[in-house]
Structure 1
Amino acid sequence: MHLLTIPPGGRAKAHLHESHETAIYVISGVSGTYYGERLEHHATVAAGDLFYIPAGVPHLPYNPGTEPVVAVIARTDPNEQESVVLRPDLEALVPDVPGETAPAS
């Protein structure tokens, strides 16, 4: 388990965790996450929300707000960083600026 902070306007790279599940509990702020095989789904989570990501599901979290997002992350593998797979092939499917429309695929 660890604490994660996404700064205002911050964005992760598209990635997946091959062999473990992730549960995210948001303490403060509002975050968006694109997820799915082609990042075709979107969820918005805010303080008090819990978001679950199954193993092997590509995702890309970001902070569209003006305040930092702070969340507690729990994963089912103590060596979780070893199963992270970056997915640069999915980056163009998500808009550069949160709130804009993603390019057509």
Structure 2
Amino acid sequence: MTDCKKLRPGGTYDGKQGFSYFEGIAKETAGAQGICMHLLTVPPGGRARAHKHATHETAIYVISGRAKMYWGERLEHCMETGPGDMIYIPADVPHLPLNDGDEPAVAVIARTDPHEQESVVLLPELEALVPA
């Protein structure tokens, strides 16, 4: 029999992308088989490394604050996000989120990778395409 689990964000871990995530639902914490879900707070001035998630989709719900996400093969697109926005990132799409505002941006992130970090592919060759 499989048990249901309840978790509260407590500890954090550093993701390859350059952000600290609150531990959430994942293979390691809840035995998830096909999904992970975490809470992310991006501080003012926070910026991820350019990356993609190989073969895994991502869904984001912005709770508070504002952020930008550059995306595309050369990070040529820019999306501004705010409270109440839902963002979908297809598998293998390069992206780089950042918070150039003066308040933290808080979001719930869900991905079809139950291990969360296994599918992260860093793309350092794209870093300079987004102004600091």
Match of 1:56 among 68, 92, 95: 92
Contact 1:18 1:85 in 2 (8 A): yes
Scaled by the length of structure 2, the TM-score of the pair is 0.71
Give, in whole Å, the separation in 1 of the partners of 2:69 and 2:113: 21
Q: In the TM superposition, what is the alpha-carbon distance from 1:80 to its structure 2 partner? A: 2.6
Consecutive aligned runs of 4 or more in structure 1 exceeding 3 Å deviation: none
Contact 1:26 1:46 in 2 (8 A): yes
Query: Percent same amino acid among aligned pairs?
Result: 72
Scaled by the length of structure 1, the TM-score of the pair is 0.89
Structure 1 SS opposite 2:63: strand
1:12 aligns with 2:52: no
Structure 1 SS opposite 2:93: coil
Q: Which residue of 2 aligns with 1:82?
A: 118
Q: Which residue of 2 aligns with 1:3?
A: 39
Q: Which residue of 1 aligns with 2:63?
A: 27
Q: Which residue of 2 aligns with 1:95?
A: 131
Deviation string 1:61-105 (CA, Å, 9 cap, x unpaired) is 000111000000011120231110000000111101xxxxxxxxx
Contact 2:113 2:119 in 1 (8 A): no
Q: Which residue of 1 aligns with 2:76?
A: 40
Gaps of 5+ in 1: 97-105
The answer to which structure, 1 or 2, has the higher relative contact order (CA under 8 A, 6+ apart) is 1
Give, in whole Å, the separation in 2 of the partners of 1:4 and 1:78: 16
Q: CA RMSD in A?
A: 0.6
